[in-house]
Amino acid sequence: METLFLPASASSLGMASDLLRSGQLVAFPTETVYGLGADAMNAEAVLSVFRAKGRPADNPLIVHIYDRAQLADLCTVPSEAVPLMDAFWPGPLTILFEKFPAVPDVVTAGLPTVAVRMPSHPVAAALLKTCGLPVAAPSANSSGRPSPTLASHVLEDMQGKIPLILDGGPCDVGVESTVLDLCHGAPTILRPGGVTKEMLESVLHTEVALAGSILRPLRPDEQALSPGMRYKHYAPKAAVTLVEGDEKAVLARLKDLCGQERSAGRKSCVLCFTEHLDALRDCSPHDIGSRVHAEETAHRLFDTLRRLDEEGMESVFSEVVPPEGVGLAVMNRLGRAAAFRIIHA
Ligand code: TXA
Ligand code: MG
């Protein structure tokens, strides 16, 4: 199949909308990461999303809408969700709802809940409005690769597999949406993202819980609240190790570790804050943004992980951010990229 790669415009949006309405797949930008969309009510179309990504059938998709009125066809809406939608939609918050039978089981991997979000990216919003469909869309990467934050990342993974990629430039947030469960007791974050625990608590006026496996691997006997958490994700080919501790000690340790790997003949580099580029100049430093802006690290993270593979890195050592605010989402993704290997300097 030929894959068209077009800048988002009135005509390419029209083409994208026609493709979605005829059961085909379109990759499009959102404010978090690029999504791979299909008509959520068309089970065949949704199945082809799983095929294009190589995604396990038991990992459910997020349904994207542009208007809250669309919820009436999809799910029941509990009253606690209303202030959250008022505060954070459109934006990077996904909420789980009890689904209606009309939503095909393939979308939710057989679960009784459906995950819904309203993206704020103007191209995503325009596409959803033009086609008028609820659109099921996981991140537009091949399963197991970092999520795409540039249209060129989508092309790397999806060329020949889908008919159209809409290029809307780099994604602003850079990590996927926050997934919030309101269906099983206390509000619980299943996946941290751009809408932080602190932001949710300020609207709900109650404590928001964190799923256990956000900052550590899932235990063999533990059930994943969100099926996606079971899978190895965001993993570059290199062995990634995180180094935490006092600033000076971390810098010294990063130099040591990188040097040792190189002496052993392995291609090695560090991921470090902008402020440390100079101190680590002999370790092929990759800039993960300022140490005081976790948003910058979120924005750059997936592109950086993809470049490690292109460069053929074998061992990578990274600084860490405090797991607060958007930093929690960064540490969840970085932690999983490192299989939660952390050294204390
Ligand atoms: O920002 C985002 O959320 C992006 C953009 C494209 O919107 N989408 C995205 O989709 O990251 P995906 O499929 O890569 O991640 C969806 C996550 C998975 O971890 C999945 O297990 C979880 O949401 N999920 C979806 N439906 C669920 C459900 N009913 N119950 C629990 N977890 C669910
Ligand atoms: Mg994904």
Answer yes or no: is the C-beta of 333 below 6 A from any ligand 1 atom. no
Count Cα atoms within 13 angstroms, Cβ side, for 244.
13
- pTM greater than 0.95: yes
By most ligand atoms within 8 Å of CB, the mutation choice from 55, 61, 301 for ligand 1 is 61
Give the separation between CA 231 and CA 138, rounded to whole angstroms. 14
Per-residue pLDDT of the chain (345 residues; tens, 9 = 90+): 999 999 999 999 999 999 999 999 999 999 999 999 999 999 999 999 999 999 999 999 999 999 999 999 999 999 999 999 999 999 999 999 999 999 999 999 999 999 999 999 999 999 999 999 999 999 999 998 999 999 999 999 999 999 999 999 999 999 999 999 999 889 999 999 999 999 999 999 999 999 988 998 888 777 777 776 666 667 788 999 999 999 999 999 999 999 999 999 999 999 999 999 999 999 999 999 999 999 999 999 999 999 999 999 999 999 999 999 999 999 999 999 999 999 999
How many angstroms separate the alpha carbon of residue 227 from the centre of ligand 2? 11
Answer yes or no: is the C-beta of 137 below 6 A from any ligand 1 atom. yes
Answer yes or no: is the C-beta of 32 below 6 A from any ligand 1 atom. yes
By most ligand atoms within 8 Å of CB, the mutation choice from 62, 96, 111 for ligand 1 is 62
Give the separation between CA 93 and CA 101, rounded to whole angstroms. 23
CB 23 within 8 A of CB 44: yes
Answer yes or no: is the C-beta of 177 below 6 A from any ligand 1 atom. yes
- Ligand 1 atom 20: residue of nearest CA: 228
